[in-house]
Amino acid sequence: MVDFQSRYRLYALGYTSPIVREHACKRHHAHEVSRHVHRHHGDRPVHDCRPEVIKELNDPGLWEAQLLASGLNESYKNSESLHTPIREESSKQKNKGGKKLFETGSFGSGVACFKYPRGLMTSRETCDVIVADTQNHCIKVFNQCGVFKHVFGSKGKDAGQFNEPTGVCELPNGDLVIADRRNKRVQVFTSDGNFKYMFPTVQEPYGITSNSIPNIIVSTVSKQIEVYERTGKRVHIFTIGGKCAAVSPVQICTNDKNEIIVCDPDDCLVKFYTLDGDAVHQFQPDSPGVGQAVVPGGICMNRVQQVLVADSLNHTVNSYLEKGAFVERIVCPTDDVGTIQAICCGPEGHLVTTEFSVSKEHCLKIFRYLECECHRARPPSCKRTPNSCKAYQIPPL
């Protein structure tokens, strides 16, 4: 520690502030030095070379805060608006009801419980919701109201058994394709859950999808894409690129052009590839709010070929055009949205999500999205709850 007398001996000309002062330009610095050297001239005014926006801000630590304050306030307001319900004025919007239709499941090993549900799809014919329950090592089937129907699979290495299934998709003929991660293979089942055949993969599979050819496309935990024929013959394999950690799982889907759409949370990008691995284009999902970053999680396509992206950071689902233009925000935390892991758009128009986190429930949620026949004839004030739909069972088709 240096006392005042020691400091006075070190600085004979007087006390000198230890703050490093930065000047807008060299000419302004010369003005300041001249005023200290030629003190006999008095405190006469000099030319101020600083920009107009900072001339009134003489505190060196103040003008930066003034420049950032506007953006920070806007970011805070937009983050708060996601959690604040909006009062709807029109009578049509008042009678529309909430977006969340059904919710089912909790953390556990029961028939209607989940442990880290990562894979999700909806059947084109029956509108059934098929969930890959990863830590329960099985596949669970629900109807379009979230009512449990049946389950198949158990933990093991034999045919029809799983070790952490992480992805599920449907072939054009209705067969179900399951990504069996720890067993490093893909298994194919009938729509009723009966085993048909399986084939190995190069890396541990995570996401899985199919196209109209049909090809089975697998995304691995090492950010590789493996393309297979329906019979299991490997056609092509390529690397996505970008940032890659030890385990970097990505979600994938396909569009009507048979392009592979990759949702990369490490790079915060949505990437488009051909089946040969050629990059078509990419875009960074934007948020309508100022200062809100988007971390893409789940991804799917709707029936009008818009890209639906689950924002795992802000707990929202947004829709974009294929070139990246923002269309609309579909659901947000005011609709009781949690940490979304996978999304899909059912043929009837519902948005289906699986959610789990450390402190939240592991569940399946169904939201109102596009106009659907099942809700068109219902009274506007009618809104089913998870408890009211448990007793309702749709008969098998």
Please, what is the average pLDDT of the chain? 81
- Contact indicator for 336, 100 with CB cutoff of 8 Å: yes
Return the percentage of the chain with pLDDT > 90, whole number. 55
Q: What is the mean pLDDT of residues 43-53?
A: 60
- Residues 6+ positions from 127 with CB-CB distance below 8 Å: 143, 144, 346, 347, 348
The whole-number pLDDT of residue 18 equals 43
Domain ranges of the chain: 97-389
* More confidently predicted of 263 and 16: 263
Q: Per-residue pLDDT tens for 153-199?
A: 999 999 999 999 999 999 999 999 999 999 999 999 999 999 999 99
Residue the block writes with tokens 């709807």 = 88
Q: What one-character-per-residue DSSP string does 247-279 give?
A: S---EEEE-TT--EEEEETTTTEEEEE-TTS-E
Residue 381 pLDDT exceeds 70:
no
Contact 269, 242 (CB under 8 A): yes
Poorest-pLDDT segment among 39-53, 74-88, 284-298: 39-53
- Please state the φ and ψ torsions of residue 292, each to the nearest 5 degrees: -100, 115
Fold that domain 97-389 belongs to in CATH: Neuraminidase (2.120.10)
SS (H, E, C) 344-372: EECCCCEEEEEECCCCCCCEEEEEECCCC
Residue pLDDT, tens place only, 82-91? 777 765 544 4
Contact status, residue 251 vs residue 298, Cβ threshold 8 Å: yes
Q: Which residues contact 348 (CB under 8 A, 6 or more apart)?
A: 127, 144, 372, 373, 374
330 CB-side CA count, 13 A = 26
Q: Which pLDDT score is estimated for 51?
A: 63
Contact predicate 370/151, CB 8 Å = no
Residue 137 CB: number of other CB atoms within 10 A? 19
pLDDT at 394: 37
From the centroid of its chain, how far is CA 375? 27
Look at residues 176, 168, 165 and name the one whose alpha carbon lies nearest to residue 136: 165
- 49-52 contact pairs (CB < 8 A, 24+): 49/24, 49/25, 50/24, 50/25, 51/24
Tell me the pLDDT band of 20, cut-offs 50, 70 and 90. very low
Tokens of 14: 């007087």
The 3-state DSSP class for residue 30 equals helix
Give the span between the Cα atoms of 33 and 62, in whole angstroms. Answer: 22
Structure-model confidence comparison of residues 51 and 310, the more confident one: 310
Q: How do residues 314-349 score in pLDDT, each as one tens digit?
A: 899 999 999 999 999 999 999 999 889 999 999 888
Q: Does 387 have pLDDT greater than 70? A: no
